[in-house]
A and B are shown apart, each in its own frame.
Chain A
Amino acid sequence: MLEVAIEGRWGDFALDARFVSEARVTALFGRSGAGKTSLVETLAGLRRPTSGRITVDGEVLFDAAAGIDLAPEHRRLGYVFQDARLFPHLSVAGNLRYGARRAKAPGDFAEIVALLDLAPLLARRPRELSGGERQRVAIGRALLAGPRLLLMDEPLASLDQARKLEILPFIERLANDGAVRIVYVTHAMEEVLRLADRLVLLSHGSVAAEGGVEELLARLDLTPETGRFDAGSAFACTVAAHDATWDLTRLDFAGGDFWVSRMALPPGQRLRVRVRARDVSLALVRPERSSVLNVFSGRVTEIGAVDGPQVDVLVDIGAPLRARITRRSLSELGIEPGREVHAVVKAVAIDRQSLGGGLGRPAR
Chain B
Amino acid sequence: MTDGELEVLALSLQVSLVAILFALPLALAAAWLLSRRDFPGKSLLDGVIHLPLVLPPVVVGYLLILGFGRQGLIGGWLHDVFGLTLIFNWTGAALAAGVMAFPLMVRAIRLSLDAIDRRLETAARTLGAGRADVFLTVTLPLALPGLLAGTVLGFARCLGEFGATITFAANIPGETRTIPLAIYSALQTPDGESAALRLVLLSILVSILALAGSEWLARRLARRLGGEG
Contacts and interface: CB of A to CB of B under 8 A. Distances in A.
Contacts of A128: 226
Contacts of B129: 73, 98, 102
B227 to A, nearest CB: 7
B220 interface: no
A87 B120 CA distance: 7
A81 B133 contact: no
A328 interface: no
Main secondary structure of the interface of B (DSSP, over half): helix
A105 to B, nearest CB: 11
A51 to B, nearest CB: 23
B123 A79 contact: yes
A88 B225 contact: yes
Contacts of A89: 138, 141-142, 224-226
Nearest to A85: B123
Contacts of B141: 89
Interface string A14-35: 0000000000000000000000
B71 interface: no
Contacts of B117: 85
Contacts of A103: 128
A127 B224 CA distance: 12
B119 A127 contact: no
In this complex, the interface size class of chain A, counting residues with CB under 8 Å from chain B, is 20 to 34
A88 B124 contact: no
A141 B226 CA distance: 19
A237 to B, nearest CB: 37
Given A89-B225, A126-B226, A99 B127 contact: yes
A141 B127 contact: yes
A142 B127 contact: yes
Contacts of A255: none
Nearest to B125: A72
B225 A102 contact: no
Contacts of A85: 117, 119-120, 122-123
Contacts of A6: none
Nearest to B119: A85
B127 to A, nearest CB: 4
A155 interface: no
B126 interface: yes
Contacts of B128: 73, 76, 99, 102-103, 145
Given A83-B119, A85-B120, A88-B228, A98 B142 contact: no
Interface string B114-154: 00010110111111111001000110011000000000000
A44 interface: yes
In this complex, the interface size class of chain B, counting residues with CB under 8 Å from chain A, is 20 to 34
Nearest to A83: B119
Contacts of A71: 125, 130
A98 B124 contact: yes
A298 interface: no
A46 B122 contact: yes
Nearest to A104: B128
Contacts of A99: 127-128
A85 B226 CA distance: 14
Contacts of A127: 226-228
Interface in A39-87: 44-46, 71-73, 75-79, 81, 83, 85, 87
Contacts of B137: 98
A253 B95 CA distance: 82
B138 A87 contact: yes
Contacts of A73: 125-130, 133
A269 to B, nearest CB: 35
Given A87-B120, A88-B225, A127-B228, A44 B126 contact: yes
B126 A88 contact: no
Contacts of A45: 125
Given A88-B226, A89-B224, A46 B126 contact: yes
A73 B129 CA distance: 6
Contact of A145 (B119, B127, B138): B127
A125 interface: yes
A81 B123 CA distance: 8
- Cβ-closest 3 pairs across A and B: A99-B127, A102-B128, A79-B126
Interface of A: 44-46, 71-73, 75-79, 81, 83, 85, 87-89, 98-99, 102-103, 125-128, 141-142, 145
18 contacts: A45-B125, A46-B125, A71-B125, A71-B130, A72-B122, A73-B127, A73-B128, A81-B119, A85-B119, A89-B141, A89-B142, A98-B124, A102-B127, A102-B128, A103-B128, A127-B226, A127-B228, A141-B127
Given A44-B126, A127-B228, 6 more contacts: A46-B125, A73-B126, A78-B126, A85-B123, A88-B120, A89-B142
Interface of B: 117, 119-120, 122-130, 133, 137-138, 141-142, 224-228
